[in-house]
Amino acid sequence: MGRPGHLGHLPQPTPPSQQSVQSFDYTALVAASAELQAWVPAKVEAVVQHAESGAALRLRTLAGSAWLHLSWHARYAHVGLGDAPPPRGAAAELYGFGAQLSSTLRGLVLTRVWLPTPYERVLRLAFAQRAGEAEQPEAELVYECMARYSNLLLLGPGGAVAAAAHQVGQRMSSVRHVQVGAAWEPPPQAGGLDPESCTDLEAWRATLCQLAAAAPPGKPMTVQAAAVRAFRGVSPQLARDLAALAGVPPHAAPAELSPEQWGRLHEQWCGWQGRLASGSFSPTACAASGTYSLVGAHQRAVPAPLAFLHAYYTAPQQAEQAGGLKQQLTRAVASAITRLQKKVAALQRQGGEGDKHGATQKLADMVMANVYRIEPGAAAVDVEDWDTGEVVRLPLDTRKTAVEAAEELYKQARKQRRAANQVAPLLAAARAELDYLAEVEVMLAQAEGDGHLAALQEVQADLVAGKYMKAPPDAALADRAASKAATKARRAAKRGGGNGAGGSDLSTTQRDYRRYQSPNGLVVLVGRNSRQNDELTMKVAQPGDVWMHARGVPGAHLVMRVPAGQSAEDGDLSFAADLAAWFSKSRTQGKCDVTVCDPRHISKPNGAKPGQVMVRKERVLVGRPDQSFAARSGEAD
């Protein structure tokens, strides 16, 4: 029996906030180069440009395989390693740059990784037909990590630029041009001294003190700022780490430090240069500040630096992208709901519901029954209502006889009946769309936490397919890339012979459902969007499982997997019902009725939107959202 809670979550680095992402500095690039030496030589099995500013190379050695990630994003540029393949199906896969990378590098061997210029954030990777120092490289990758000027370039055998993520022309820069066909030139060196030029304590101390003394009046310079300004390759985070290891306040002025503090700080400075020379680092991380150190300034050790760095920079990038997409989708859904509400109101005015034609025909019958009492030219007549027994006054047209007035009412009733027959289906369809959008709205409101970008992209695809929002500019490319990725996945599954389980089990391992474990160890799956709800209910759920949904309100579909020969006990049912209530519009209520049924009693009407189903046989439990595991664990998503 497992412990109730989440399933399938591995320890991850604490994601930094988008405002406090630590820059990928020169020290990080040296550490990346040092770790990549273990992957030389390695065969390049695949190359994918999975994002507009990111590419990944699948490397394989005798010891194993991994994905080498190279990101030239303006804020999240980094080099990293990961076991999981990059997300497929993005429009960027069909960009010309990614296609050229793949056609050139696939099948070659990574033979060398080095930094061509000391204290500059430039990394070069050489690729040849076979491993060996004597092999001439067929192509090279040059990775330049320079914030918004970051770039990735593919060089041919002669060192000319064959392709570039960003080309830089004369109008864009007067300092350095990057053009396809031209020879690659290193970026201009950053200002400052070479750190190796000041190995002596006194000379190093004098350099920092002189720089601080030259600061403008009223703007004192700290020892951290002086180190960053004076020497190339020194980032603010590195200066803070060295000061912390030396026990020196980083914001102290150089003139305030004692000789002992200067001695300890210089010792750490020399230690940093020794790490650069040897390629031996002590990667650590701090969960509280969301920062990391490659010189051991924090308590928690990081066993795999490149894997950690990839997760560190990817998480906030995806969260930023997901946050922007979520806002866009929320606006689109709100606009669509407003339009549909107006449409429903208009259809109701046209007689789409109610019994207006019946009431009109009743008036005509009452006029005909009192023809003998109506005087010619009368403006009204008082008659008895057959249903209530009360006397009602019927208005009449003084220009028409009583029979003509009754015939006019009969004609109006027939017209209202025809309108009702025509409008009623339209009204039902509009209300079904409103129900669907209400569920999407709830899903979006609860899609917080780390964003789950893939789930939001599925919502976007559904909204575009339903014509609730315009397709993004690169939608056609994305569709083609997604189709190619799906075809490759199916072929890989056939070659691998599946996973030995049913198709539904395969779906649960590949999809990003919310996953929990009941008190008795049963797996509980919760959909993140309408498409996942549809798949959970119609494909994953099997007879004998338990299906749940908050009753009468929009919410997520929940499936509790029950192995053959077992049954869900009361504790499991209560656990799942509380989750179903939490992931619904009744989250803020004290309790909520939850529909429970066997999946065999669920069907999907023809033409229904994703996530809309029909339940034939149900029972009701009471779910308490605030007592769910998700609520008690402080989960937002």
With H, G, I as helix, E, B as strand and everything else as coil, classify residue 157. coil
Q: Rounded to whole angstroms, how far apart are CA atoms 272 and 238?
A: 9
Average pLDDT, the chain: 87
Alpha carbon separation from 142 to 57, 189, 287 (Å, rounded): 14, 16, 33
Residue 251 lies in a domain: yes
Domain co-membership, 182 together with 212: no
Q: Rounded to whole angstroms, how far apart are CA atoms 36 and 27?
A: 14
Domain co-membership, 362 together with 278: no
Tens of pLDDT, residue by residue over 476-485, are 666 666 676 6
Long-range contacts of 346-354 (CB under 8 A, 24+ apart): 347/423, 347/426, 347/427, 347/430, 348/427, 350/419, 350/423, 351/416, 351/419, 351/420, 351/423, 352/419, 352/420, 352/423, 352/424, 352/426, 352/427, 353/420, 353/424, 353/427
Mean pLDDT of all residues in 351-378 = 78
Which pair of tokens denotes residue 139?
Answer: 């192509």
Residue 217 lies in a domain: yes
Alpha carbon separation from 597 to 543, 557, 612 (Å, rounded): 10, 12, 15
Q: Return the percentage of the chain with pLDDT > 90, whole number.
A: 58
Which has the higher per-residue pLDDT, 618 or 472?
618
Which of 301, 336, 354 delimits the end of a domain?
A: 301
Residue 190: the pLDDT is 85
Alpha carbon separation from 363 to 29, 271, 401, 419 (Å, rounded): 87, 99, 15, 19
CATH number at residue 375: 1.10.287
Q: Is the dihedral of CA 581, 586, 591, 597 positive or negative?
A: negative
Domain co-membership, 158 together with 35: yes
Residue 17: the pLDDT is 54
Which pair of tokens denotes residue 349?
Answer: 């005015």
Domain co-membership, 283 together with 331: no
Structural domain of 548? 498-632
Which pair of tokens denotes residue 454?
Answer: 């893939």
Nearest by Cα to 220 from 243, 246, 254, 191: 254
Contact 586, 550 (CB under 8 A): yes
Reading phi first (left if > 0) and then psi (alpha if -120 to 50, else beta), residue 112 is in beta
Domain co-membership, 52 together with 100: yes
Domain co-membership, 116 together with 249: no
66 phi/psi in degrees, rounded to 5: -165, 165
Tens of pLDDT, residue by residue over 403-414, are 888 888 888 888
Does the pLDDT value for residue 582 go beyond 70?
Answer: yes
Tens of pLDDT, residue by residue over 43-53, are 999 999 988 99
* Residue indicated by tokens 């603010």: 236
Alpha carbon separation from 66 to 58, 82, 131, 500 (Å, rounded): 6, 6, 18, 25
Domain co-membership, 183 together with 240: no
Nearest by Cα to 573 from 596, 600, 599: 596
Residue 627 lies in a domain: yes
In this predicted structure, which of 81-85, 133-137, 170-174, 425-429 has the lowest mean pLDDT? 170-174
Domain co-membership, 202 together with 134: no
Contact 113, 125 (CB under 8 A): yes
Rg (the chain; Cα; Å): 35
* DSSP single-letter state for residue 274: H
Does the pLDDT value for residue 636 go beyond 80?
Answer: no
Which pair of tokens denotes residue 215?
Answer: 């600061």
Residue 15: the pLDDT is 52
Residue 482 lies in a domain: no
Which of 400, 420, 445 delimits the end of a domain?
A: 445
Residue 5: the pLDDT is 60
Tens of pLDDT, residue by residue over 595-631, are 999 999 999 998 888 889 999 999 999 999 999 999 9
Does the pLDDT value for residue 30 go beyond 50?
Answer: yes
Domain co-membership, 422 together with 522: no
Contact 601, 617 (CB under 8 A): yes
Does the pLDDT value for residue 7 go beyond 60?
Answer: no
Residue 482: the pLDDT is 62
pLDDT tier at 499, thresholds 50, 70, 90: very low
Residue 160 lies in a domain: yes
425 phi/psi in degrees, rounded to 5: -65, -40
Helix (H) or strand (E) holding 533: helix 530-535
Does the pLDDT value for residue 592 go beyond 50?
Answer: yes
CB atoms within 10 A of CB 394: 18
Tens of pLDDT, residue by residue over 254-301, are 999 999 999 999 999 999 999 999 999 999 999 888 899 999 999 999
Which has the higher per-residue pLDDT, 515 or 378?
515
Tens of pLDDT, residue by residue over 64-119, are 999 999 999 999 999 999 998 888 777 777 788 999 999 999 999 999 999 999 99
Tens of pLDDT, residue by residue over 432-470, are 999 999 999 999 988 865 557 888 888 988 899 889 998
Show Cβ contacts of residue 72 under 8 Å, excluding neighbours closer than 6 positions: 53, 54, 143, 144, 145, 150, 151, 152, 165, 166
Tens of pLDDT, residue by residue over 173-207, are 777 888 999 999 999 888 899 998 888 999 999 99
Residue 48 lies in a domain: yes
pLDDT tier at 562, thresholds 50, 70, 90: very high
Residue 137 lies in a domain: yes
Q: Alpha carbon 277 to chain centroid distance?
A: 39
Q: Domain count of the chain? A: 4
CATH number at residue 167: 2.30.310.10
Domain co-membership, 113 together with 171: yes
Residue 484: the pLDDT is 66
Q: Rounded to whole angstroms, how far apart are CA atoms 84 and 66?
A: 8
Nearest by Cα to 323 from 610, 93, 636, 580: 636
Does the pLDDT value for residue 583 go beyond 80?
Answer: yes
User: What crossing angle do the helices spanning 259-278 and 201-213 adopt, rounded to 10°?
Assistant: 110
Residue 3 lies in a domain: no
Q: Rounded to whole angstroms, how far apart are CA atoms 290 and 29?
A: 19
